[in-house]
Chain A
């Protein structure tokens, strides 16, 4: 089954404790992206990747890191989480980086993160 998986789905942590949210897609997609969703603010892009070893900042990259060492995986790293990073996080992928805005982006199920 074609899908985007994220782990963990729920995470409660404390300020300053490094964490990684994994994202994996099995569709051989070029483009992958991370978003955070906060009430009333819609989705805001954190980082995106056009292909292996090619990543770039989105709208709200501060406090986050990503890597794309393999085509299928795009982990999101919070080196020192803070309470303002409490949010719902979505990973997404689409087939072609050239048409990533208008191609169907397949979203993962979301990770609800709480930073105390």
Chain B
């Protein structure tokens, strides 16, 4: 079993929909939770990070962490075709950049 599980998709939604992307994990030591967005043929870019449990909002994006269930989510409101990309969750038990564990990524397609 992988340490971080993520549904690969593809997830296809109409423009304007609310998108929910999720990851589950098994390592209870993880404290830092990140979401990356990767456009085709590009490197990933950090969208948001959350420390420990709770919610964090940034514009149309909301990240949620439920440590008791070992479950994290990224919500995208009013989705746009430009949100079409692969979304990767990542997590770590420290902030020192080592042993960052990524999920396999979920491919999202937002149709006009």
Contacts and interface: CB of A to CB of B under 8 A. Distances in A.
A42 B103 contact: yes
Contacts of A100: 95-98
Nearest to A43: B102
Size bracket of the B interface: 20 to 34
Interface stretch (A12-20, A66-74, A79-87, A89-97): A89-97
Interface SS of chain B: helix, strand, loop or mixed?
Answer: loop
Interface string A27-55: 00001010000001111110010100000
B95 A101 contact: yes
Size bracket of the A interface: 20 to 34
B90 to A, nearest CB: 8
Nearest to A110: B43
B96 A50 contact: yes
A59 B42 CA distance: 22
B107 to A, nearest CB: 11
Nearest to B91: A101
A42 B32 contact: no
Contacts of A75: none
B45 A97 contact: no
Contacts of A90: 43-44
B8 interface: yes
Contact of A56 (B90, B98, B104): B98
Contacts of B104: 40-42
Interface string B74-112: 000000000000001010101111111111110000000
A85 B105 CA distance: 20
A101 B8 contact: no
Looking at B34, B90, B98, B102, which has the most chain A CB atoms within 10 Å of its CB?
B98
Given A42-B90, A48-B97, A110-B41, 5 more contacts: A45-B99, A48-B98, A99-B95, A101-B34, A105-B46
